[in-house]
């Protein structure tokens, strides 16, 4: 599964920090394109995927706010 974070809204450092902190729960690969920071997540059980994506997104919001 994949989440795309708009670079104009989410700081890349916040995405990386969140991925680093959640690395114990799942596998993370962070790449970028011209507009997004893309996070590929693996190793999450199918029944938990929606909640995991949501929680990860919220965690990035928290990290972005923390950096202001």
Partner 1 sequence: MTSANKAESVLRFDTAIYPQEALMGAAYKFLDRVYTHFEYEGESKTISAKLRAKTQITQAHWENLLEAFSEEALSQALRLKILKATRKTRDQIMSIALYCIPSDESAMEQQTQQCAQSVSDEKMDSELEEILRKLKEEPDDDNHEEDPMDITVPWEEKYGGENL
Residues engaged in binding partner 1 (CB under 8 A) = 3-4, 6, 8-10, 50-51, 53-55, 57-58, 61-62, 64-65, 68
Q: Which residues contact 59 (CB under 8 A, 6 or more apart)?
A: 18, 21, 22
Structure tokens at 47: 């029944």
Taking the complex as a whole, the smallest distance from the CB of residue 9 to partner 1 amounts, in Å, to 5
Place of tokens 């795309």: 4
Q: Which is nearer to partner 1, 16 or 53 (CB)?
A: 53
Contact by Cβ (8 Å): 25, 65: no
Taking the complex as a whole, the smallest distance from the CB of residue 27 to partner 1 amounts, in Å, to 21
Taking the complex as a whole, the smallest distance from the CB of residue 1 to partner 1 amounts, in Å, to 13
């Amino acid at each position: 599964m994949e989440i795309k974070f708009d670079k104009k809204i989410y700081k890349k450092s916040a995405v990386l920090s969140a991925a680093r902190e959640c690395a114990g729960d799942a596998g993370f690969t962070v790449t970028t394109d011209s507009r997004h920071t893309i996070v590929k997540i693996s190793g999450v059980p199918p029944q938990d995927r929606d909640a995991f994506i949501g929680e990860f997104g919220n965690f990035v919001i928290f990290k972005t706010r923390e950096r202001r």
